[in-house]
Structure 1
Amino acid sequence: MKATQKHSYLKHSTKALVISLLLTGNIGYAQTKNQVIDNIVKEATENSQLENLAHELMDVVGPRLVGSPQMKQANDWAVTKYADWGITAKNEKWGEWRGWERGISHIDMVYPRVKSLEGMQVAWSPGTKGKSIVAETVVFPMLTDSIAFKNWLPTVKGKFVLFSMNQPTGRPDYNWAEFATPESFEKMKTSRATQTTAWQANVKKTGLTLKTLPAAFEKAGAMGVVTCNWSNGFGSNKIFGANTKTIPTVDISLEDYGLLYRLTESGNKPKISVHVESKEQGLVPTFNTIAEIKGTEKPDEYVILSAHFDSWDGGTGATDNGTGTITMMEAARILKKMYPNPKRTILIGHWGSEEQGLNGSRAFVEDHPEIVKNIQVVFNQDNGTGRVVNLAGQGFLNSYDYLGRWLTNVPESIKKHITTNFPGTPGGGGSDFASFVAAGAPAFSLSSNSWSYGTYTWHTNRDTYDKIVFDDVRNNATLTAILAYMASEDPVKTSRDRVMLPVNPRTGEPGTWPPIVKPTRKGGVN
């Protein structure tokens, strides 16, 4: 070996040794005094099943609209998956919902030129009965009063009604803030605010609402309703449900909606062809999927891992709430492998119809008072793919004690991101933890950071597998498994003492705990 080669070899060998020692030191530092926790971290890190779970749920099953065949397929998939891990699981019926299955959506402009449009029918939209409907578009006009509206209404006959405000810009505000002059940005925002106020006032002049106007168009003979529920980000639209019974409702992208709107206003009389297919299936049963790892010492006390299973169906429900779902499934898998004999029973609740009002979890609370009264804790995860960054006490006076004690056992790499707020105030809605809080059970939201959730994935057409940040979801599954283990092992039953709520400044009355709300058990029907 030449001298220069020998020097290079020694240099790299020394560097490799130093790196090896540093890594060994880091691994040693990361280990705790608790072998179960170390095993949980190791399994979550080295044998994660999250990517496979996400693929099977989001790509293969797809979106999980309440009442759809895909929702029932997801329920059955979860039961089978738990069985593969040696965990008992079942589908528990809690109600019925209007059954509807999405089919294809083809929307094209055919005059004054041909262009395929980006869009889709919204949930529970009527189909076009195997045909393509071709008609002109008409713009919902600016009105003086309800009489003007009644005089205009007959003009919708035989046409598609463009029934959304035409946005003045397709660029989100952060893009303007980065590139526009301050004067231009302010001018745009002022113009948009003025336009939005005028639009809202215009709707009120009809004497109807955004929800009831489509039925008026339908009654007047419109061929369909076209909306653009832009989500303030490039390419993202919110996709909710239809308010028509016999004619289709479709939502199209801001870019294509604006094109149709401008062509209509300028007198070019655009025509669109709409072919949408869907199946009505009557009332169908709806389920929660409940999995259980039975406790050995206190089987009648419960640690509940909670996430809603349903989604809207503009995308595939990846971050709302596919990531919450697979977080709880992965935590359960890890616990079954590394902590197979918990002291308390660990339940995993995958709730239905959260999107329509927490119905599945509210039904569970109503149907299982014997469980609710013996809940040690509920951990719920819902709001997107990001790592958990906030844990609030939900108004439970002593939550700082038990949550604080459990958190001390969480590795610093996970714990350092989390801000706590004790005792906090009770959440009355927002996600399924609120169903349990209302019943007085200690239930907490594992709240994650944004990843532009509100704009780009919350209820949008862009809520798909590719938006999942698996490092953050692994973080959350590890955190959940450790907290569940600590809650199960804790020799002390959690306190349900509540904080005294401050006076409501609007009423002058003392604040009150959120009331228990009854679930809607027959939904989607009039």
Structure 2
Amino acid sequence: MIKKISLLLALFLASGSPLVAQDKDAVIKSIIDEANNNSQLEHLGHELMDGIGPRLVGTPQMKNAHDWAVDKYKSWGISARNEQWGEWKGWERGISHIDMVHPRVQSLRGTQLAWSPSTSKKGVTAELIVLPTVVDSLEFVNWLPNVKGKLVMISMPQPTGRPDYNWEEFATEKSFDKMKKEREALNEAWNKNMGHTGLNRRTLPVALEKAGALGVVASYWSRGFGVNKIFGAYTKEIPTVDLELEDYGMLYRLVESGQKPELHIVAESKELGKVPTFNTIAEIKGSERPDEYVILSAHFDSWDGGTGATDNGTGTLVMMEAMRILKKVYPNPKRTILVGHWGSEEQGLNGSRAFVEDNPEIVDGVQAVFNQDNGTGRVVRISGGGFLDSYDYLSKWLYEVPKEITDEIETTFPGTPARGGSDYASFQAAGAPAFSLSSLSWSYWNYTWHTNRDTYDKIIFDDVRNNAILTAILAYMASEHPEKTSREKAVLPISTRTGEQLEWPTPRSPERSGGQN
């Protein structure tokens, strides 16, 4: 009997531990099956994007989203909490109506910018004027009294509302070249004139407000059909609105032809004083190495032109779904698996920088950070982030991911660290192995990044599901990896811009009291 046991043990050891491999294969198969057959992505996306909506820092909707995420994690049996890291200017969007009332009546497509001051319920009605052509800042200062009691248009009128790909498909080469040259000349003249005023996009609205303007009208076209970038206002007392290209161009032409168009603007909002800002943290505690961490990372906040679906609703869904799946099929991980839904990424990675600054012991224990934040597409690029030995472990982890997912992923090792862009940079700056799961475009930069069209219908759930599978398997493999990952840094290349050797980025402190100035 003793001999039989010894023989079985010898065969087991000689075979390279097939039972352990079988366990690994079973967990990975369960991850894939759960993701494909019991996906919660569509439901989560509907609740977050359609129900809660955009998640601008300082708004009640942002706090609603944090509370929703905590409740959702707890419903899955995952410990979760909101951690305050600072405070922000509190603001809540109200009803916006923008109508041309002269020389005819037409409702216009546009919105009040984030943190813009409110009008009264009756709104404001005034004539539109455009910026003059000036030779220097003195001439502009002499012109400024003309804005008193007026609405001022501050953006360049676009010569075409058709994106370049539309011109490439249908225009003659001669016509397309002509349009591009005219647009380039208009851009150059506009920027030169703006330089003559001595002001810029931030300071111009403030100067107009001080001179007695009743409102600021802008249009930040995103080079796609019907799509504008939507950011924040710089005025303190008067409303700032953004109009879609088509309406803005019409109004600009009416002003230039001497028809003195008038707008009626109702842009209601509420100033809420200082409000606390949070990160949502959830974790599945490690059973063997609880003080080492695999971190899933995605920023939770958004701009509020749309509902923040692809920036970064989809990254949020990936991390929530991966955590749900892991809790179900891998409830006792070797290392702690922690997810961070960061606040105020859009204003400078503030939430993740605060977490890194406030939790050095967690940063010291990081095994790997996986961050997703550039749209709805399937992951197609992963860089080693400048960590010299990242190939040794990332390649092993990626090997276990289904080939139909990894076949489209291009890897770069050792790569270079990020200096911003998204929250993984906060961890890399502190020396923690952090990796961006960079995705396919789906026209992200033109059509959904910070735009009025970043909505639920732009989500490609098949790609998001692939990303959830990828993330869950990477987290599982990182948790099970026998050694702590190396933090040795590669020698960075020479900068093509400065001719000097690049240096590793250093941690930056967050802005913990924002939007108050």
TM tier, smaller: over 0.9
Structure 1 distance, partners of 2:169, 2:425, is 38
The residue number in structure 1 matching 2:232 is 241
Q: Determine which of 303, 307, 322 is the counterpart of 1:316.
A: 307
The residue number in structure 2 matching 1:368 is 359
Equivalent residues in 2 for 1:505-520, closer than 5 Å: 505-520=496-511
CA deviations over 1:306-354 (Å, ceiling 9, x no partner) = 0000000000000000000010000000000000000000000000000
The residue number in structure 1 matching 2:170 is 179
- Aligned-pair identity in percent equals 71
The residue number in structure 2 matching 1:264 is 255
The residue number in structure 1 matching 2:279 is 288
The residue number in structure 2 matching 1:404 is 395
Equivalent residues in 2 for 1:361-440, closer than 5 Å: 361-440=352-431
Q: Which amino acid aligns with 1:371?
A: I
Q: Which amino acid aligns with 1:118?
A: R
Runs of 4+ in 1 over 4 A off after TM superposition: none
RMSD: 1.0
Q: Which amino acid aligns with 1:229?
A: Y
Structure 1 distance, partners of 2:159, 2:134, is 20
Q: Which amino acid aligns with 1:211?
A: R
TM-score by length of 1: 0.93
TM-score by length of 2: 0.95
The residue number in structure 1 matching 2:488 is 497
Change (3 A) 1:66 1:341: same
Secondary structure of the 2:86 match is strand
Q: Which amino acid aligns with 1:58?
A: M
The residue number in structure 1 matching 2:9 is none
Q: Which amino acid aligns with 2:480?
A: E
Q: Is 1:96 matched with 2:75? A: no
Q: Which amino acid aligns with 2:412?
A: N
Secondary structure of the 2:280 match is strand
Equivalent residues in 2 for 1:98-497, closer than 5 Å: 98-497=89-488
CA deviations over 1:55-107 (Å, ceiling 9, x no partner) = 00000000000010000000000000000000000000000000000011100
Deviation for aligned residue 1:32: 10
The residue number in structure 2 matching 1:24 is none
- Is the contact made by 1:32 and 1:38 (CA closer than 8 Å) also made in structure 2? no
Deviation for aligned residue 1:147: 1.9
Gaps of 5+ in 1: 1-30
Secondary structure of the 2:281 match is strand
The residue number in structure 1 matching 2:77 is 86
CA deviations over 1:17-70 (Å, ceiling 9, x no partner) = xxxxxxxxxxxxxx9970000000000000000000000000000000001000
Deviation for aligned residue 1:509: 3.1
Q: Which amino acid aligns with 1:182?
A: E
Secondary structure of the 2:301 match is coil
Q: Which amino acid aligns with 2:171?
A: A
Q: Which amino acid aligns with 2:506?
A: P
Deviation for aligned residue 1:377: 0.1
Structure 1 distance, partners of 2:319, 2:170, is 42
Deviation for aligned residue 1:185: 0.5
Structure 1 distance, partners of 2:434, 2:494, is 23
Deviates more, 1:454-463 or 1:197-206: 197-206
Q: Is 1:66 matched with 2:57? A: yes
- Is the contact made by 1:143 and 1:149 (CA closer than 8 Å) also made in structure 2? yes
Structure 1 distance, partners of 2:481, 2:82, is 30
- Is the contact made by 1:407 and 1:483 (CA closer than 8 Å) also made in structure 2? yes
The residue number in structure 2 matching 1:28 is none
The residue number in structure 2 matching 1:17 is none
Deviation for aligned residue 1:505: 4.2
Q: Which amino acid aligns with 1:306?
A: S
Structure 2 distance, partners of 1:342, 1:144, is 67
Secondary structure of the 1:304 match is strand
Secondary structure of the 1:34 match is helix
- Is the contact made by 1:302 and 1:377 (CA closer than 8 Å) also made in structure 2? yes
Q: Which amino acid aligns with 2:52?
A: V
Structure 1 distance, partners of 2:472, 2:442, is 23
Structure 1 distance, partners of 2:394, 2:133, is 55
The residue number in structure 2 matching 1:5 is none
Secondary structure of the 1:289 match is strand
Structure 2 distance, partners of 1:129, 1:69, is 21
Change (3 A) 1:508 1:170: closer
Gaps of 5+ in 2: 1-21
Structure 2 distance, partners of 1:502, 1:77, is 44
- Is the contact made by 1:352 and 1:360 (CA closer than 8 Å) also made in structure 2? yes
Deviation for aligned residue 1:503: 2.5
Q: Which amino acid aligns with 1:369?
A: P
The residue number in structure 2 matching 1:6 is none
Q: Which amino acid aligns with 2:270?
A: K
Equivalent residues in 2 for 1:37-52, closer than 5 Å: 37-52=28-43
Deviation for aligned residue 1:250: 0.1
Change (3 A) 1:396 1:440: same
Structure 1 distance, partners of 2:286, 2:319, is 18
Q: Which amino acid aligns with 1:94?
A: W
Q: Which amino acid aligns with 1:202?
A: N
Deviation for aligned residue 1:507: 3.8
Structure 1 distance, partners of 2:482, 2:456, is 40
